[in-house]
Amino acid sequence: MAEKTTQGPMDAGRFAALADGYGSALHRWPQAEQAAAVRFAETEEGRAILRRAGKLDALLDRHRVEQPSPALHGMIVAKAATEVRQVRRRRFWWLGFGLAGVGLAGAVAGLALVTVVNPDIPSNHYVMDANATSFGDAGPDADQIEEDL
Amino acid sequence: MGADPDEELVRRIGAGDPAAVQAMVARKLPRILALARRMLGDAAEAEDVAQETFVRIWRHASGWRQKGARFDTWVHRVALNLCYDRLRRRREWTTDELPEVADETPLPDALPGDEERRVGQALLRIAPRQREAIVLVYYQDLSNIEAASAMQVSVDALESLLARGRRALQAMLIGDDGDD
């Protein structure tokens, strides 16, 4: 949102346009133009423009709204406890799902790595039974077999 | 744009601090209620909007991050959207669009003590976008940049809405062009 800046003196046209929009109170005017506006406001023309805008401001100032009731304040505060707790619980669950997801992804990645590094050996080269180890068959008759050889 | 004065409070609400909740309601409720009251002209509907706005504040507090707009500007945007939902619902039987042109017929002269109601009626008769601009800048004291951001328009467009809105109010309330 760009704001106009007035470096030099403000002209009557711009001053009147700002008064038309923002009213007679200079604190509501764009900050970048306030210094120039304050200077112009001291002129006869500036005072006349502000006086005109001030008529409507005086009417607008009469419109007041009631302060919030303590009951409304209380209802809003009571609702906060439930809402904030629910959001925190939801976040906790999402964190749990996230961690579970990371764990699952790790397991899948590990399985994939094992599959790549240690692929299945074709069955016509080697048959491993339940008793076989890296050092040979560890079954109950293994020693006997070796001796027979 | 400097540091957001609400940021610390919002962080504490997100962490579940009950004192921060109380402080936020005390700080924002009068402003939100006033905004909705002037936009809608109905006290009960304004209270509903205020409650719904706070529900959204509680839901978003823990994830709130300042991305350009201040928290207060975001709260105004939320409350205004809720007001527009209600304004549209009121007009659904005729059209989806909210009027851009104000009814500038002068209001009858007020009896003593009746000026406040007359101003309220005049505010409700100007186009909603003009009313929104005036409420944000004049009554809510938002800067032109904050108001333009809340309305999602340029500063030039905001100034145009303000000027048209004030001219319409002047025609209704003062009945002339405001000259001496």
**pLDDT tens-digit series, residues A55-104:** 999 999 999 999 999 999 999 999 998 887 777 666 666 666 666 777 77
| Sign of the alpha-carbon dihedral angle for B128, B133, B137, B138 | negative
- Torsion of the alpha carbons at B66, B69, B73 and B78, rounded to the nearest 10: -80
CB–CB contact B174 A56 (8 Å): yes
pLDDT of residue B95: 52
Tell whether B128 and B167 lie within a shared domain: yes
Short-list A20, A55, A18, CA closest to B180: A55
Residues A60 and A54: their CA atoms lie apart, in Å, by: 10
Residues A101 and B179: their CA atoms lie apart, in Å, by: 72
Tell whether B109 and B50 lie within a shared domain: no
CB–CB contact A62 B115 (8 Å): yes
**Rounded CA Rg of chain B:** 18
> What is the reported pTM?
0.75
pLDDT of residue B68: 75
pLDDT of residue B115: 86
When scoring B1, B12, B25 by the number of chain A Cβ atoms within 10 A, the one with the most, hence best to mutate, is B25
Tell whether A71 and A136 lie within a shared domain: yes
Looking at the complex, does the CB of residue A114 fall below 8 Å from at least one CB of chain B? no
Tell whether A75 and A143 lie within a shared domain: yes
If you average pLDDT over residues B136-148, what whole number do you get?
Answer: 96
CB B169 within 8 A of CB B123: yes
Overall domain count for chain B: 2
Domain extent, residue A129, equals: 66-149
Domain extent, residue B154, equals: 99-180
Looking from the CA of A75 toward its CB, the CA atoms found within 13 Å total 12
Short-list B151, B155, B180, B179, CA closest to B167: B179
